[in-house]
A and B are shown apart, each in its own frame.
Chain A
Amino acid sequence: MPYERVLMRNVGVPNSTSLATYQASGGYAGAARALQMKPEELVELVKKANLRGRGGAGFPAGVKWSFLPPDRKVTYLCVNADESEPPTFSNRVLMEHDPHMLLEGVLIAGYATRTNVAYIYMRGEFTELFHIMQRAVDEAYAAGYFGRNILGSGYDLECYIHRGAGAYVCGEETGLIESLEGKRGWPRIKPPFPAVQGVFGQPTVVNNVETLACLPHILTRGLDWWLSLGTENSKGTKMYCISGPVNRPGCYEAPLGLSCRELIYSPEFGGGMRDGKKVKAVFPGGISMGVLRGDVFPRAADGSVDPSRDYDELDCRLDFDDVRRYDLLGLGTAAAVVVPEDADIRDVLVNVARFFAEESCGQCTQCREGTSWMYKIARRIRAGAGRPEDLDLLVEVTGNMGMMPGLSICGLPDGAAWPIRTLVQKFRAEFERHLAAQEPDAAARLIRQTNPAAWELPIWAGRRRPPTAGTMPELHRAGR
């Protein structure tokens, strides 16, 4: 029996963005119910539901709300609609087809956190979505779901849409806050956390679009329904995206815990690979969570999971816990992109590295320099001028950028390093095949051309020449 879609129930319904359509399917009933509860009860309910943030990190929303200082005067709610993780478009589908579901979530979350002003921070590239959302907000205002004394409860909530200018890092909650304040989107140092000092120095909650969209359903369908979905620590329903050369790329809803193989091959979801190709690799959570080996690799005979060995890893369940067994950083956005068997893994490496070199905000050294260095190495390997030591160097560079626990202000370098490291480690054999097939002196020639200093000076092993007297190690040995 196909799973009853909840978040995506209005996708495909004609005129789905209008308030009337939303109300016809029971819209704003959850908000009405929430407004009769006490805010504390709502926070407790969401804590019990173990609603984990859908933005990537999976932090429980109720716990996040309870970090707000109890004696606060002003609270802000920010909706993170800066969906910019590479193959991810679930928030977009949600806002494009059912903007009122998000707005109802905003209302519920706002009431639970005693917020009077909510900001929807929308990715700059979402031009059409902005108009859809703005129409929906206007409709909701007209119907009394925003503004003063909402539904006679005495609760006031203003809702504004703010458009970003197109930066990946503004999806990080403090980067988003800085950008919302009109500054350069550089993540802030923590502590203080946004719950204590966020937008304009006031306590702030930042939640993802999908997280908020879950709230109306928890209220209308009840906690038991919610807890019956998903796996042990990952409850509820989830929107999965699949892209790449599959037969049915798109956004699908399923309870948490869908396996990667189902997502690709199930006729309900991806519908299998185009032209019957096999899967070489799949990035299951947006690219920053790392890579899984596809079914071009053999399955482990005993079904065990060992990321250090070249086995098929498509049985990874996409929830908040199982992904870690496969050496992934986390669930991320649950947006899988499939790499087919005939793709060159070096192209994948360049593509991933370029994205992060482009999007590193430039604040912390490791990330700023590390991402661009990885990109340069990746490009050189792609150009057929890799050196055998480059693979280890790449792994070391990713390690020095800091991964879990990170060395930097935000998680971007972790997310930049993780896919590079897992790509190099999981597909090392293929990289080595490519390196072996290169022209023997290709690396030396390219290096001499692009960086004559590196060639002239004895700084790389490709050109063996004893260090000249007077270099620093010599002086150190001499006891200077």
Chain B
Amino acid sequence: MPKIIIDGREVECRAGISVLQAALEAGWDIPHYCYHPGLSVVASCRLCLMEMKMPHPQTGEVGWAPKLFPACQTPVKDGMEVRFDSPRVRASQAATLEYYLLNHPLDCPVCDKAGECCLQDYSERFGRPTSRMVEEKHKNPKKDIGPHTLLYQDRCVLCTRCVRFCDEIAGTGELRVVNRGSRAEIDVFPGLPLANELQGNVVDLCPVGALLSKDFLFRQRVWFLRSVRSVSPADSSGATIWIDCNSQGVHRVRPRFNPRVNQWWLSDEARFGWKYILRDDRLNEPRLRRGGVWEPIRWDELPEVLRYRFGRIATSDHGAGTAAVLSPMMSCEEAWLLARFVRGLAPQATLVRGYVPVRGTDKTFGTGFVIRAEKCPNRRGIERIIAHSGGNTLEFDEFIAAAGEGRFKAVYLVGGYPEEWIAKEHHKALAGVELLVVHDLFGSLLDELATVRIPAASFAEREGCFMNCDGLVQPFEQAIEPLEGVRSDGQFFYELVGGLPGADGLFRAAAVRAAMAAELPEFAEPYVPPDLPPHAH
């Protein structure tokens, strides 16, 4: 591991990285715009310039070189000495930041980026408080460049991160720089809008408020938002995300750095696909059919009712007619609790791996980012728990076929999919089930067959862990309170199994996970990606 000296302090760093990366990882706050660890280096923002000690070309004497070097472009070398905290570097930073603001409209009060804007932060920390330009500013135009993105060119610092992202990661190259000098603009080609499947990332990448998401436009000031660590349920890759939310609910989803899965990026379906949790036809009241009529039932009555009804059927045939369908939208904890409940009723009960939605094929982008075809987060986790539970197991199709033959009398069916997933043949097959419990986000064809209908909570309203398609277990936290009238699935299953021995009545994912880990060691230490260095962006 090379050791370098930054501002007089020795720092040990990974080999092959740039001085800027090493300094950021060691906690230095070095202003930078164009550098991004996931993109190629262009060294054009000229903010991370540093002084470096070099041997004098004639005398060979080692001293500070007269030139300033871009830290992003200089690889670390054992024994090198650099400094950022020097009058020359500070003066260069201040001068460059002054240049950045020359033609900037200073419209922070109406800018969505305000509060998380690197131009604001750097100008305050490293820049000058006032501008010395008294002439008219250039007004570069505002543009609508794609279905999700607006470009406010007047705020742009021309770091070209977005251009490089579209070239190098998305591979579609929609964005280009046009014109020269201070009239240079980012633009799309006529008739070819920014519309790739990763386009939302350019908004995160933009260090200033030039690229804005139409989805988040004027929605919230960012300082009113709280960021919660979560995992995207949009596909089976297990992309880690931040859910930005407040008491009014979820406002946006951003990628959370994850070196083992999604790196810095997030697909659009994960970024924009969470809106189903806001749909107003979400179920919000548990109901029980009594004499053919839906009646509301209280949440705290429900476990007892289900235990009684399932128990009666299960004891009659030792569980041969009892089945639970575990949805791959469930967390591992929830699946484990439900499996425990069903196995507790009768050893012969059947556990079914729920419906796995698949769309198309896996799509791999540059540098290995993958959008998975499997549009559910936890198939592997469900399979692991079913395999661990032993006994009778079925795939979803086999279960539907068996149900059509009338093998099941009591079924606990968990859904939770963002889209309608019950087809007519499912309805037909399940028509003969005596006790059908449907636990889902939305109403479906099964409503007329169900004996009990339980509203589910969305991923943002739950906590737990998902096992992604590569077997990586990653926890996610609860961002918001469940919809009014809804109890989180984990809490409900926890009550259904009567809690864990020696614990109180509240479901806590970590505690359940610890109990699971006694049987399933892979859940002992779920993977939480390291947070990015505080000043990296």
B91 and chain A: residue at smallest CB distance: A400
**Most chain B beta-carbon contacts within 10 A, residue among A365, A400, A407, A460:** A365
CA distance A380 to B44 in the complex (A): 29
Whether A376 contacts B132 by the Cβ 8 Å rule is no
Chain B residues with Cβ below 8 Å from A365 are 44-47, 96, 99-100, 157-158
Binds A, one of B179-187, B255-263, B506-514: B179-187
Whether A407 contacts B49 by the Cβ 8 Å rule is yes
Smallest Cβ distance from A103 to chain B, in angstroms?
A: 32
Q: With contacts A357-B181, A407-B68, A472-B129 known, is A369 near B136, CB below 8 A?
A: no
Chain A residues with Cβ below 8 Å from B134 are 380, 447, 450-451, 454, 459-460, 462
Whether B44 contacts A366 by the Cβ 8 Å rule is no
Q: Of A189, A361, A407, A459, which is within 8 A of B42 by CB? A: A189
Within 8 A of A (CB), among B32-85: 41-47, 49, 66-68, 70, 73
Chain A residues with Cβ below 8 Å from B42 are 189, 363
Whether A407 contacts B182 by the Cβ 8 Å rule is no
The reply to whether the CB of A405 lies closer than 8 angstroms to some CB of chain B is: yes
Whether A376 contacts B177 by the Cβ 8 Å rule is no
Q: With contacts A407-B46, A451-B136 known, is A369 near B182, CB below 8 A?
A: yes
CA distance A408 to B45 in the complex (A): 9
Smallest Cβ distance from B36 to chain A, in angstroms?
A: 15
The reply to whether the CB of B116 lies closer than 8 angstroms to some CB of chain A is: no
Whether A377 contacts B99 by the Cβ 8 Å rule is no
Chain A residues with Cβ below 8 Å from B131 are 454, 459
Whether B43 contacts A409 by the Cβ 8 Å rule is yes
Whether B182 contacts A371 by the Cβ 8 Å rule is yes
Whether A373 contacts B133 by the Cβ 8 Å rule is yes
Whether A373 contacts B180 by the Cβ 8 Å rule is no
Cβ proximity bits B134-177 to A, threshold 8 Å, 1 near / 0 not: 11111000000000000000000110000000000000000011
Chain B residues with Cβ below 8 Å from A186 are 177
A472 and chain B: residue at smallest CB distance: B129
CA distance A451 to B132 in the complex (A): 12
The reply to whether the CB of A440 lies closer than 8 angstroms to some CB of chain B is: no
Q: With contacts A376-B135, A400-B92 known, is A369 near B184, CB below 8 A?
A: no
Chain A residues with Cβ below 8 Å from B136 are 376, 450-451
B72 and chain A: residue at smallest CB distance: A189
Q: With contacts A366-B46, A459-B131 known, is A372 near B181, CB below 8 A?
A: yes
Whether B180 contacts A369 by the Cβ 8 Å rule is no
Whether A368 contacts B182 by the Cβ 8 Å rule is yes
CA distance A195 to B7 in the complex (A): 34
Whether A362 contacts B132 by the Cβ 8 Å rule is no
Q: With contacts A371-B182, A372-B182 known, is A451 near B137, CB below 8 A?
A: yes
The reply to whether the CB of A471 lies closer than 8 angstroms to some CB of chain B is: yes
Within 8 A of A (CB), among B73-116: 73, 92, 95-96, 98-100, 102-103, 106
**Most chain B beta-carbon contacts within 10 A, residue among A358, A362, A406, A450:** A362
Chain B residues with Cβ below 8 Å from A184 are 176-177
CA distance A358 to B181 in the complex (A): 6
Smallest Cβ distance from B95 to chain A, in angstroms?
A: 4
CA distance A377 to B136 in the complex (A): 10
Smallest Cβ distance from A296 to chain B, in angstroms?
A: 31
The reply to whether the CB of B124 lies closer than 8 angstroms to some CB of chain A is: yes
Q: With contacts A380-B135, A459-B132 known, is A364 near B46, CB below 8 A?
A: yes
Whether A366 contacts B99 by the Cβ 8 Å rule is yes
Smallest Cβ distance from B21 to chain A, in angstroms?
A: 16
Chain B residues with Cβ below 8 Å from A405 are 66-68
CA distance A14 to B129 in the complex (A): 66
| Number of interface residues, chain B, beta carbon within 8 A | 43
The reply to whether the CB of A90 lies closer than 8 angstroms to some CB of chain B is: no
CA distance A409 to B160 in the complex (A): 15
Cβ proximity bits A397-411 to B, threshold 8 Å, 1 near / 0 not: 000101001111100
CA distance A460 to B132 in the complex (A): 7
Q: Of A358, A451, A453, A473, which is within 8 A of B129 by CB? A: A473
Q: Of B68, B135, B181, which is within 8 A of A368 by CB? A: B181
Cβ proximity bits B115-128 to A, threshold 8 Å, 1 near / 0 not: 00000000010000
CA distance A177 to B95 in the complex (A): 30
The reply to whether the CB of A360 lies closer than 8 angstroms to some CB of chain B is: yes
CA distance A325 to B278 in the complex (A): 73
**Most chain A beta-carbon contacts within 10 A, residue among B42, B70, B106, B134:** B134
Chain A residues with Cβ below 8 Å from B135 are 373, 376-377, 379-380, 447, 450-451
Q: With contacts A358-B180, A369-B100, A372-B138 known, is A454 near B133, CB below 8 A?
A: yes
Within 8 A of B (CB), among A430-460: 447, 450-451, 453-454, 457-460
Smallest Cβ distance from B232 to chain A, in angstroms?
A: 35
Cβ proximity bits B439-476 to A, threshold 8 Å, 1 near / 0 not: 00000000000000000000000000000000000000
Smallest Cβ distance from A453 to chain B, in angstroms?
A: 8
CA distance A389 to B96 in the complex (A): 20
CA distance A356 to B134 in the complex (A): 20
The reply to whether the CB of B130 lies closer than 8 angstroms to some CB of chain A is: yes
**Most chain B beta-carbon contacts within 10 A, residue among A169, A379, A402, A457:** A402
CA distance A459 to B101 in the complex (A): 13
Whether A366 contacts B43 by the Cβ 8 Å rule is no
CA distance A191 to B523 in the complex (A): 47
The reply to whether the CB of A167 lies closer than 8 angstroms to some CB of chain B is: yes
Smallest Cβ distance from B247 to chain A, in angstroms?
A: 28
Whether A362 contacts B177 by the Cβ 8 Å rule is yes
Whether B129 contacts A189 by the Cβ 8 Å rule is no
Chain B residues with Cβ below 8 Å from A360 are 180-182
The reply to whether the CB of A270 lies closer than 8 angstroms to some CB of chain B is: no
Chain A residues with Cβ below 8 Å from B66 are 405
The reply to whether the CB of A257 lies closer than 8 angstroms to some CB of chain B is: no
A-B contact list, 10 entries, CB within 8 Å: A357-B181, A361-B180, A368-B99, A371-B182, A372-B138, A380-B134, A451-B137, A459-B130, A459-B132, A460-B134
List 17 additional A-B contacts (Cβ < 8 Å) besides A366-B99, A376-B135, A459-B130: A186-B177, A189-B42, A189-B43, A360-B182, A364-B45, A364-B46, A365-B45, A368-B181, A369-B103, A372-B103, A372-B181, A380-B134, A380-B135, A400-B96, A409-B44, A451-B134, A459-B134
Binding site for B on A (CB under 8 A): 167, 169, 184, 186, 189, 357-366, 368-373, 376-377, 379-380, 393, 400, 402, 405-409, 447, 450-451, 453-454, 457-460, 462, 471-473
Binding site for A on B (CB under 8 A): 41-47, 49, 66-68, 70, 73, 92, 95-96, 98-100, 102-103, 106, 124, 129-138, 157-158, 176-177, 179-184
